Copies of this chain bind each other. A is one copy, B any other.
Amino acid sequence: MHKIVQCVPNFSEGRDLDKIERIIHPFRGKNGVKLLDYSRDEDHNRVVVTVVGEPEPLKEAILEAMGMAIEAIDMRNHTGQHPRMGAVDVVPFIPIKNVSMTEAIQLSKEVAQEAAKRYNLPIFLYEKAATHPERENLAKIRKGEFEGMAEKIGQPEWKPDFGPDKIHETAGVTAVGARMPLVAFNVNLDTTNFEVANQIARNVRFLGGGLRYCKAIGIDLKERGMMQVSMNMTDYTKTALYRAFELIKIEAKRYGVNVVGSEIIGLLPMEALVDTAVYYLGVENFSMEQVLETRIME
């Protein structure tokens, strides 16, 4: 695969294994598409799929999967703890390799337009693909959930970007968009004082005057007797992992607290770690083309 896009669609079915298999089937055994993971949650009644592929085959596979989900899921009977507004709740596209954000946005719009047409489905574009600033935030779009959508999308300011102005009777509404890869990066502190962790989190995150592409909260790791700064790095190409790590060390100093380790939850692109190694080793003029795996995947 020369160009690689990741897609992490969330479907509103976490209990019926037959239905889940039907929904993810279009991602299996296709050239140019690779199913990496799917993780279902019975309480959420939701499955989160991670798939990568070349733009064109990925587009066709996701459209097929959306069709299967719309056929299989009836939102009028759906219960679950996670907020949701449609059978295909949300479809984010994420540029991974040799793909720009502009191309990922374009891909998300093509999928949205074609899905709206094929399935008569109202679709909102969100995050980087959003057509209005107030549609960037998925939570704002989803507010009211499936049960409130019929009324919400009748309002002029909530007219969908594609598809009809009324909800799909059984499949509700879908959000399709583009975003950077998220890296879940947590840093552990040798303190039992929650306020210290929380204050450090406030200082390193964007909202508190910290790093632009960093969300952070303090968390009490009760079982380990320590505190954690739990972060979502929302664009590691601009706010590197080492920058957040070193800044937390600096902030922790003022409390006489030390960083004692960290964890990375889930998947991340190799570039996020290669960039960090290159920083600490002070490597001059390094190119990702020097990484064997970059060349193998070309």
List which A11-59 residues lie within 8 A (CB) of chain B: 34, 36-37, 52
Is A292 in contact with B267, judged by CB distance below 8 angstroms? yes
CB neighbours (8 Å) of A266 from chain B are 290
CB neighbours (8 Å) of A181 from chain B are 292
Q: Determine how many copies of this chain the complex contains.
A: 2
User: Does chain B have a CB within 8 A of A242?
Assistant: yes
A52 to B298, CA, bound (A): 12
A291 to B275, CA, bound (A): 13
**Contact among B264, B277, B292 for A52, CB-based, below 8 A:** B292
List which A274-298 residues lie within 8 A (CB) of chain B: 274, 276-278, 280-286, 290-297
Q: A6-B292, A296-B4 are in contact. Are A284 and B267 (CB under 8 A)?
A: no
CB neighbours (8 Å) of A139 from chain B are none
A188 to B284, CA, bound (A): 10
A36 to B263, CA, bound (A): 34
User: Does chain B have a CB within 8 A of A257?
Assistant: no
A212 to B274, CA, bound (A): 24
User: Does chain B have a CB within 8 A of A250?
Assistant: no
